[in-house]
Copies of this chain bind each other. A is one copy, B any other.
Amino acid sequence: MRESEKETVRALPIFSGMFQDNFDALLAGSFLQRFPASVVLFSESDLTDFLHILIEGQVELFASANNREGTMTLIKPVATFVLASALIDGAYQMSARTLEASRILMIPAENVRTAMLKDRDFAQKAVLELASCYHGVVRAYKNIKLRTAVERLANYLLVQHERQGTNGALVLPVEKRTLASVLGMTPENLSRAFSTLKPYGVVVDGPNIVLNKMDDLKTIAKPSEFIDAN
């Protein structure tokens, strides 16, 4: 890993308060690796060797069962993933693949567990991160259990709209087929869900979305502070 990159990593919130010795020990045996798009990084049954930190690119965490496959969540830079698995020392529980060419910092799980014990600041931040991830999955679980497909899409659009500046338009950050999987539906059904939202002022042109009737859209979406990410 280059020195400049090491400094970038060092500046990440989760590492920023660590003692230098502990940080160096944590990164011993770590490496920053480049992956092309559409590469499987690990499978849910693999034993957790590394805590991953996505520096650049995009990663999908997904799961399979029967013959079905579903997106668990999308990871965007800069963020850790599979922290829980790295702490528990078992299987990853989720599979991962790159959606774009990506750079990923891979830290031996063993080092993470050691650092948790040695460095109080790191332990504190890792715990908060983990608790936050927990609430993230809880939100996703509520989302799919308590809402219909159209409601999930409507709320997704509202969240993206806010994140992208609340200016009446937004751009889908992923392919529609991936979005469908994130929202727990088939690509065909996503197409139809967009059609259903047309009377609510949702205009679709490829990845470009315009929201013309925010009030109507919110009426059908019924957004909830405790489901939709801030």
Question: Which one, A83-91, A198-206, A207-215, is touching chain B?
Answer: A83-91
Given A130-B130, A141-B141, A144-B144, residue A66 in contact with residue B135 (CB < 8 A): no
Answer yes or no: A189 CB below 8 A from chain B CBs. no
Q: What are the residues of chain B within 8 A of A151 when measuring CB–CB?
A: 66
Whether A65 and B224, one on each chain, are in contact in the complex, defined by CB atoms closer than 8 angstroms, is yes
Q: Give me 25 A-to-B residue pairs in the complex whose CB atoms sit less than 8 angstroms apart, sorted by A's number.
A: A63-B138, A63-B145, A63-B146, A64-B146, A65-B142, A65-B146, A66-B151, A66-B222, A68-B146, A70-B145, A72-B142, A83-B131, A84-B131, A85-B131, A85-B135, A87-B131, A88-B135, A94-B138, A117-B124, A123-B123, A130-B131, A134-B137, A137-B138, A137-B141, A144-B144
Answer yes or no: A226 CB below 8 A from chain B CBs. yes
Given A120-B117, A130-B127, residue A141 in contact with residue B84 (CB < 8 A): no
Bound complex: CA A225 to CA B66 (Å): 12
Q: Which residues of A contact B (CB under 8 A)?
A: 44-45, 63-66, 68-70, 72, 83-85, 87-88, 91, 93-94, 116-117, 120, 123-124, 126-128, 130-135, 137-142, 144-147, 151, 184, 222, 224-227
